[in-house]
Structure 1
Amino acid sequence: MSPETLARLTALRHDLHRFPELSGQENNTAARVAGLLTDLGADEVLTGIGGHGVAAVFDGAAPGPTVAIRCELDGLPIQELGDLPYSSQIPGKGHLCGHDGHMVMVLGVADHLAQAPPQKGRVVLIFQPAEETGQGAVSYIADPQFAPIAPDFVFSLHNLPGLALGEVLLCEGPANCASRGMRVMLGGKTSHAAEPQDGISPAGALASLMPELADLGTGGALNADFALTTVTHARLGEPTFGVAPGAAELWVTLRTVSDTRMKCLIAEAEDLVTQTAEAQGLAVKITYEDVFEACTNNAQAVAAVAEACVTEGVPCTFTNEPQKFSEDFGQFGKSAAAAMFWLGAGQAHPQLHNPDYDFPDALIPVGVDVFSAVIRSLVGRALSLRDH
């Protein structure tokens, strides 16, 4: 990648960082991405996929497979605390997961494809909305615009603090854990604080459920039996001294390596909640949000990434363990050979979702080169790149 190209992509990344948009609200980001892809001369640019999703199609001259590269459009509802010259200009919102960097890497791939289109098949660049809520991939795939561009192979990456800068981490099989947010609402009856016996308080149930639900999944080895339950929020009654509470709410994140284990964990958690509520005369309602199914890597797709790393001289390490954090990218793997890999953001880099996190610009050319090498291995290229 030429210094001029890297400088342009870096400046674009900084500008995207300034104006993050939350899941389902990525209108301006999507419009900007679509405009850039159109300017690059993509054979087709689709918009409004599954909400604000975008796709760019680069056709080859001969028949062949469809290869997709996927990235995310959305930011997070977190106030950025860093003092970067390009810090978020939107109060309470920030690109604190690196999706701004992921977008720019895929736009860098578009640069390559504009200069050297595939020899055969086609390449589809997927800019997906609402990854942070787990709804984006499901909506994107369900959109009628997706079926005609559905890929045979699909690849994505996520930057990973704690891993050496620029190093790739890769695995076959389970790649990202399944997770979901369980919201428990307990209903009793309020009473005057002076006569609590006249009401039905959920305080005891809430107090017992917090440790008991946490004990259902205590983590451990990331294998088929892995389960982790994390209490993330609790609310009891109203902030007043005169009323004994009549309602409570508890939020718990359930996490497993496999979807099968998740079904068992859900059943265990629901049984515990229901039995506790019934024993104390409380009504109960359970709902789920931020639902992520497990993400699994295909062996053939993993081999393509490993080969690309060798071709580009990028250090690559294999692991037998998936990441604990979840990714809705797994939805694409239900109908395509899929691989998610992780690109090191630095061993001492702030963690994802931290208020001082920022995507390392040094990763831009690494991601572009690995993705481009994967594409070349599967569909070739028609021309020689001018600046690569």
Structure 2
Amino acid sequence: MAVVNRIADYADDMTAWRRHLHTIPELGFDCPLTAAFIAERLREFGVDELHEGIAKTGIVAIINGQGAGPTIGLRADFDGLPITEQTGLAHASRHPGQMHACGHDGHTTMLLGAARYLAETRNFTGRVALIFQPAEEAGGGAGVMVDEGIMERFEISQVYALHNEPGEPEGSFLTTRGPIMAAVGIFRIDINGQGGHAAMPHQTRDPIMAACGIAQALQTITSRNNNALDNLVLSVTQIHAGSANNVIPDHAWLNGTVRTFDADVQDMVQARMEQIVAGQAAAYGVSAELTFTTTYPATINTAENADFAAEVAREIAGAERVTTDTPRHMGAEDFSYMLNARPGAYLFLGQGESAGLHHPEYEFNDAIAPVGASFFARLVERAQPIG
């Protein structure tokens, strides 16, 4: 692997940064300790501009290159998850019920490593905008940063991001042209019936039976209404009702998620859900209301930028360790908002065998941090070369 030599020199520092960040996971937009640590490192590196308080705790740092040119954006997310860590590591979370279980501590470390190198060498033209983002897991921090005008304010012309990928070979890269991560819809269905004694169900209008009927009927959208060639997942994830074994309740509710890549498919799903909910409610003699919310859009790589990013990845990892047609993921990513605003690409970086993302035993592989930092650094140097 062609890790940049200078970045390799401070691999131990990067490990220390990452493990410190791992001890202080914070959630959503409320990440003051994390943001303060990032800002302190960036000041040490000598960035030219440091803009804090974007999307509450987000940061954009600017490093000027040699001579005029465009601005390239590099993004890392830094929020954690509401998970109780079970790794038993010396650097495990010190915040009960909160954990870096998705590797955002590693993503931040990779971008900090690239920042240190780029601030030292400045072997590029134009500028680089280092985007450190809160609230990827919940809240759409990337969308908030875009809405607060970072693309226009810092004149960002293209933008890139990395995400670690457990189970893929350590230091390998995976990406694709076009859609790479799904759009997200979330739904809740509230059902109101008439409760009563469980021994006299004929005197009730049972919302539990209606909830079960709705949950089963929703699965026909994927199997009978959707073209099998169009990716779609619809999952009911919660059903809540009742408080005693001899009482039929008045109320029940269920919720879940919808994952798609095509806006027309998502529109079809919502329309069919409304029809099914209304029909099942009538069949069971209850009333029901669907609330459907679209959250993150699909993450869609610009073809030209995905090709360029893959070319840089080959320089770092070798051609045999770069996949350019990785299958679409049904998970979601709020970097989609940035790709909606500017051309760019999103890539996965293999971290070898480990517990999966969002697992209480997950641990970021520190060996890949210099690989990701080298990718970011060379991306800038290749996109905006001197001369």
TM-score by length of 1: 0.91
Cα displacement (A) at 1:361: 0.6
Aligned to 1:327: 333
Instruction: Give, in angstroms, the shift of residue 279 of structure 1.
Output: 3.0
CA positional deviation for 1:62: 2.5
Instruction: Kindly provide the amino acid, as one letter, of the partner of residue 285 in structure 2.
Output: G
Aligned to 1:369: 374
Residue 284 (structure 2) pairs with residue 280 (structure 1): yes
What is the identity, as a one-letter code, of the residue corresponding to 2:350? G
Closer, same or farther: CA 118–184 of 1 in aligned 2, 3 Å? farther
- The Cα offsets for residues 197-231 of structure 1, whole Å up to 9 and x where unpaired, read as 44432111111122222342369x99861111112
Q: Bigger shift: 45-54 or 353-362?
A: 45-54
Q: Which runs of 5+ in 1 are unaligned?
A: 383-388
Aligned to 1:386: none
Q: Do the aligned partners of residues 161 and 145 (structure 1) sit closer, same or farther apart at CA in structure 2, a change above 3 Å counting? A: closer
Residue by residue over 1:7-65, the C-alpha shift from the partner in whole angstroms, topping out at 9 and shown as x without a partner, is 11101101111111111222221222122212222111111212321111112343222
In structure 2, relative to structure 1, the CA distance for the partners of 1:335 and 1:2 (3 Å cut) is closer
Partner of 2:130: 125
Structure 2: unaligned runs, 5 residues or longer: 1-5
User: Aligned residue for 1:82?
Assistant: 87
* Inter-partner Cα distance in structure 1 for 2:78 and 2:326: 29
Q: Partners in 1 of 2:228 and 2:46 — Cα distance?
A: 45
Deviations 1:128-179 (A, max 9, x none): 1111125211111111455311421100011111211111012111111112
The sequence identity of aligned pairs, in percent, is 33
CA contact (8 A) 1:65 1:378 kept: no
Counterparts of 1:76-155 in structure 2 under 5 Å? Answer: 76-117=81-122, 119-133=124-138, 135-144=140-149, 146-155=151-160
Match for 1:319: what amino acid?
D
Q: Report the counterpart of residue 297 of structure 2 in structure 1.
A: 293
**1:344 and 2:350 correspond:** yes
**Equivalent residue for 1:231?**
236
Matched, 1:251 2:237: no
Answer yes or no: is 1:24 the counterpart of 2:11. no
Closer/same/farther in 2, CA of residues 349 and 139 from structure 1, 3 Å limit: same
Say if 1:214 and 1:34 are closer, same or farther in 2 by CA, change over 3 A: farther
- Residue aligned with 2:338, SS: helix
Contact 1:350 1:357 (8 Å CA) reproduced? yes
Q: Which residue of 2 aligns with 1:304?
A: 308
One-letter amino acid of the counterpart of residue 53, structure 1: G
Conserved 8 A contact 1:218-1:227: no
Q: Deviations over 1:79-133 (max 9, x none)?
A: 1111111111112111111000000000001101210225322100111111112
Which amino acid in the other structure matches residue 275 of structure 2?
Answer: D
Aligned-residue offset at 1:275: 2.0
Letter in 2 for 1:330: S
Confirm or deny that 1:54 pairs with 2:59: yes
**Secondary structure at 2:36 match in 1:** helix
The equivalent residue for 1:385 is none
Q: 1:15 to 1:289 in 2, by over 3 A?
A: farther
Deviation at 1:297, TM superposition (A): 0.7
Q: C-alpha distance in 2, partners of 1:123/1:110?
A: 9
Tell me, yes or no, if the aligned pair for 1:155 and 1:340 is still in contact at 8 Å: yes
Amino acid of the residue matched to residue 332 of structure 1? M
C-alpha contact (below 8 Å) 2:29/2:55 kept by paired residues: no
How many pairs were matched up?
A: 379
Structure 1 residues 152-161 or 194-203, which shifts more? 194-203
Cα 1:161/1:223, change in 2 over 3 Å: farther
Secondary structure at 1:113 match in 2: helix
Could you tell me which residue of structure 2 aligns to residue 70 of structure 1?
A: 75
Contact 2:7 2:114 in 1 (8 A): no
Q: Distance in 2 between matches of 1:91 and 1:213?
A: 37
Tell me how far 1:381 sits from its aligned partner.
Answer: 6.0
Are the equivalent residues in 2 in contact too, given 1:173–1:297 (CA < 8 A)? yes
Instruction: Identify if the C-alpha distance between structure 1 residues 39 and 285 changes in structure 2 by more than 3 Å, giving closer, same or farther.
Output: farther
Query: Is 2:244 the counterpart of 1:240?
Result: yes
Residue 244 (structure 1) shift: 1.6
Q: Which amino acid aligns with 1:56?
A: A
Is the deviation greater in 319-328 or in 4-13? 319-328
CA contact (8 A) 1:134 1:290 kept: no
CA RMSD across the alignment: 2.3
* AA matched with 2:147: A
The structure 1 residue matched to 2:19, chosen from 14, 18, 36, is 14
